[in-house]
Structure 1
């Protein structure tokens, strides 16, 4: 798709509850860009709340079609994901419109904890022992298949939601039921949803922030996490 050099319009994909919206919109204004907001909302709610562009981030195919139709009316120079939940959608939409994009496959791997572990293991990167189990499987049987301490993880929730440490089978059963309730309340299907269980690795945690461009990593910063993440709940605090 041809984008005129004078086009200074970006599409920002975000969830209704994001705390990052203000920072992204302000940055766009400082750069002289027009920011169009794409919210993760059903079309009916988008119309009720007068949201110009409502999208279902879980339905990538339909959402990409909606974005392409919008781009025919007002061309975009870039499509950016403000939240983790839209990284795959942004990648596919940019690809469809011929814009600079992250690999959709890489975006999926970054979002799916099990797929990421599988790729890391296949590539020879060190990672904890891990296994996946279905929500509909017997938790008592699962508790006997894993070693302790372990960590239960949802495959796709962001912000470390649902990440719980268990030191023994009793704690595992409680953690499994808690995670299951969380996933079902979030719209997951018991028959089609699996979780990740991996060995707990003790130690301090650091975070590396960087940009990867054409296979070249530029490190921006490396910093210590402020609190030890020993559990039982391993959700990270906002900094």
Structure 2
């Protein structure tokens, strides 16, 4: 049987996304579109196309249709937040099921809010602002504390909590300047969202959506740090989490997808568990980041990479979870000081407990890294993953890994 032909738009960073290619390649002929010749990706590829600029949708479409003329493409997939709208447009050009309008509705957080409002899905109050004055007016109308965030960024870039008017004035430039991290993203006259602060633990739910049927597959609890910023320090995926049996949470996830008109694909929904119930923070029209789906896989859960590839090709994803599942968790580590010049990052093997199943550097020699707020997720220098029989066992193992981390700085 000939394997389906899958076009993947950009591989992403190796440390965060290689596991997806490793999962997909045995079952699909992967054709990668990227901006420079592949290196580490080569073992997973059936072919590749180099384009000058991923922002040039016309160039992407020409490359994809040229490929399809030689070998019909069965599906298009992208797990990089920056380029998911372009991937949807490529799919439409190839005659494959996709709706760029729906993807844009997820990509643009203001459009997400408007769609959820129409369906009365619980979410924080939100207003658009263009500068410090309008942000302050919005914060006064909503009531403190508030959260300032960019309209269409990802990875918590530019997101900060403000508890009073002075902090709004202080932090608004931090939010506005975050756009420099991704200048290829669309800009609007009003780029700042001012939102009600939803107090409570934060979780994410990765769902597989096929022909309108929403199936939550991976539920993760976030561990945040460096307040008032929202840096993701780690995640915990526990198959025994009682939230799996919360009907209010499941309804919120289902209603969110209905409001957005999202019928096919894999999504990453971020939610705050408030006293009033779950409130939707945002929806990403892609596989979750931060290695969350990899935690799900390592703990015996379904492979979200394979699920996303199947849906992209118009196929119902197969059931994949193992009979025995276990908790898995990840911790990210930052440098202690701003402008740390990395020379070498290692872990002392003698200090790693058996629950640590993966670990490694996220910065190479010569790179300059800083903790938040100077740098956010791009300031991470290392990670460790633990799989155990209990969540507290995983957390203890990750704490030990942090003590075993060795950073040699220049």
Equivalences for residues 79-158 of structure 1 within 5 A: 79-99=76-96, 101-134=97-130, 137=131, 139-146=132-139, 147-158=143-154
In the TM superposition, residue 201 of structure 1 has moved relative to its aligned partner by 1.0
Q: CA RMSD in A?
A: 2.8
TM-score, normalisation: structure 1: 0.79
Instruction: Name the SS for the 1:233 alignment partner.
Output: coil
Separation in 2, partners of 1:24, 1:129: 35
Instruction: Name the SS for the 1:12 alignment partner.
Output: strand
Closer/same/farther in 2, CA of residues 12 and 190 from structure 1, 3 Å limit: closer
Contact (CA 8 Å) 2:128, 2:190: kept in 1 or not? no
Query: 1:6-65 CA distances to partner (integer Å, 9 max, x unpaired)?
Result: 36332111265454442222123322x3322212x4xxxx48x9x732263434344223
Contact (CA 8 Å) 1:55, 1:63: kept in 2 or not? no
Separation in 2, partners of 1:15, 1:166: 36
1:9 pairs with one of 5, 12, 18? 5
Contact (CA 8 Å) 2:207, 2:214: kept in 1 or not? yes
1:30 pairs with one of 19, 26, 30? 26
Separation in 2, partners of 1:61, 1:81: 17
In the TM superposition, residue 92 of structure 1 has moved relative to its aligned partner by 1.8
Instruction: Name the SS for the 1:217 alignment partner.
Output: strand
Query: 1:77-121 CA distances to partner (integer Å, 9 max, x unpaired)?
Result: 21111222222222221222122x342222111111110001000
Partner of 1:78: 75
Instruction: Name the SS for the 2:161 alignment partner.
Output: strand
Contact (CA 8 Å) 2:110, 2:128: kept in 1 or not? yes
Structure 1: 4+ residue segments shifted above 6 A: 188-191
Instruction: Name the SS for the 1:236 alignment partner.
Output: strand
Equivalences for residues 178-189 of structure 1 within 5 A: 178-184=174-180, 186-187=182-183
In the TM superposition, residue 132 of structure 1 has moved relative to its aligned partner by 0.8
Partner of 1:212: 209
Closer/same/farther in 2, CA of residues 141 and 109 from structure 1, 3 Å limit: closer
Deviates more, 1:117-126 or 1:179-188: 179-188
In the TM superposition, residue 150 of structure 1 has moved relative to its aligned partner by 0.7
Closer/same/farther in 2, CA of residues 182 and 16 from structure 1, 3 Å limit: same
Separation in 2, partners of 1:122, 1:28: 37
Contact (CA 8 Å) 2:156, 2:231: kept in 1 or not? yes
- Indicate the structure with greater strand content: 2
Instruction: Name the SS for the 2:129 alignment partner.
Output: strand
Separation in 2, partners of 1:74, 1:182: 41
Runs of 5+ consecutive residues of structure 2 not aligned to the other structure: 40-47, 234-289, 291-329, 331-410
Instruction: Name the SS for the 2:25 alignment partner.
Output: helix
Closer/same/farther in 2, CA of residues 190 and 173 from structure 1, 3 Å limit: farther
Equivalences for residues 220-239 of structure 1 within 5 A: 220-225=217-222, 227-228=223-224, 231-237=227-233, 238=290, 239=330
Contact (CA 8 Å) 1:184, 1:190: kept in 2 or not? no
